[in-house]
Amino acid sequence: MDLGIIGLERSGKTTLFQAVTHGHAHVAAHGAMEPSVGVVKIPDERLDRLCAVLHPKKVTHAEVRYLDFPGGLSLRGAGPSGAFLAALSQCDALVHVVRAFRDETVPHPEGSIDPDRDIAAVNLELAFADIGMLERRYEKLEITVRSARAGEREAGERELALVRRLREALEREEPLRAQQLSAEERRIISGYQLLTGKPQLIVVNIDEADVSRAAGIEVDFADRWAGSGVQVAALCAKLERELAELSDEEAAEFRRELGLIEGGLERMLRLSQQVLGLITFFTVNEAEGRAWPIAAGSTALEAAGKVHTDMARGFIRAEAIGWQELAEAGSFAEARKHGLLRTEGKQYIVQDGDLLHMLFNV
Ligand SMILES: Nc1nc2c(ncn2[C@@H]2O[C@H](COP(=O)(O)OP(=O)(O)OP(=O)(O)O)[C@@H](O)[C@H]2O)c(=O)[nH]1
Ligand SMILES: [Mg+2]
């Protein structure tokens, strides 16, 4: 999973990137146009608890990649480069950093601090990029349709009508995420990789002085901006970067003093899994305990395919149990003895927190 960080200039994107990657990132050379890429482990207490009970040799957390691009979206000048937009279109979700911190030594590109204005402006840039993409698509399609034979023309005509409709909705400031589409229409446009169709996590980068009010600020922004495919997290990127440099104990102590219940970064990571529509299942054997992110609504067969293609090909059945039940039982043998392991078939819908043991033939 790739999460692309976007936002206006100097909104705190790189600060957030450094906090979330703890400095473990492949940082692009200064002046290069490529993004810096950081691999981030998703903390999961459930996996930690399971592995503490079952003692696999190795524990593997789920990972996501964060991409930090040089510079920000500028509301003036030539607009974002094609290369930047192309890289964003490859991302699975966008992390949209918006400045709410006050710091006179850091000039705001628009001259004043107004996060709602900035969120709207960045979303508008994304919509413009999509409109441009749809226009180019339309022109190409028109040529193909014109030269197509009568029998092949119909599908092209349908796509043209769809592209026109999407474009009109974007011009009314309806992002693709919010548009009603049939499964067939979704399939057609899945290859377009439109930016307003991507899940978005808005990160309100608040002032150091406001961290004790983070939860309230988050609710306030969520009221206005959260919705289908959009989540909001409020945190102070600069503070989180400082906390990331401390040991876990020191950071926890510091958080307690500040009155923060959940670490801002952990919360952000959890929300980014949510906004991507991902749930987690676990597998644990002697060698490895592992968390697997998967789209909500996936079947046991799809889960098996994540772990190994052979496992899906030779799938017989899965044994399933909630992670907590297994942690309490203490072992697979105990859980089996008490009849806690369920036998599930290919079509079983995997639940968040399931521990799965696949049985398969090769
Ligand atoms: N006071 C305060 N300053 C911050 C915060 N986050 C970032 N800054 C400062 O704002 C400036 C810009 O931060 P960056 O993280 O480089 O912002 P950016 O969005 O990556 O900037 P560009 O890549 O140039 O667009 C730096 O001087 C940061 O130290 C914050 O939460 N509080
Ligand atoms: Mg930066």
40 CA to centre of ligand 1 in angstroms: 20
Amino acid at 282: F
Nearest residue to 22 via CA among 45, 41, 5: 41
β partners of residue 325? none
The pLDDT tens digits for 9-53 are 999 999 999 999 886 666 666 666 788 999 999 889 999 999 999
- Ligand number, closest to the Cα atom of 237: 1
Give the per-residue pLDDT at 29.
64
Q: CB of 6 closer than 6 A to ligand 1? A: no
Q: Using CA positions, which residue lies closest to atom 13 of ligand 1?
A: 12
Q: CB of 71 closer than 6 A to ligand 1? A: yes
11 CA to centre of ligand 2 in angstroms: 8
> Distance between CA atoms of 204 and 236, rounded to whole angstroms?
8
* Residue 252 neighbours by CB distance under 10 Å: 14
E strand or H helix that includes residue 248? helix 248-258
73 CA to centre of ligand 2 in angstroms: 10
Task: Band the pLDDT of 75: cuts 50, 70, 90.
Answer: confident
Task: Band the pLDDT of 132: cuts 50, 70, 90.
Answer: very high
The pLDDT tens digits for 296-343 are 999 999 999 999 998 899 999 999 999 999 999 999 899 999 999 999
Task: Band the pLDDT of 150: cuts 50, 70, 90.
Answer: confident
Pocket mutation for ligand 1, best pick of 14, 99, 204 (most atoms within 8 Å of C-beta): 14
> Distance between CA atoms of 90 and 244, rounded to whole angstroms?
28
Pocket mutation for ligand 1, best pick of 69, 103, 110, 208 (most atoms within 8 Å of C-beta): 103
Q: Using CA positions, which residue lies closest to atom 30 of ligand 1?
A: 238
By the CB criterion, residues less than 5 angstroms from ion ligand 2 are 13-14
Q: What are the residue ranges of helices labelled H in 41-181?
A: 45-54, 82-89, 115-147, 150-171
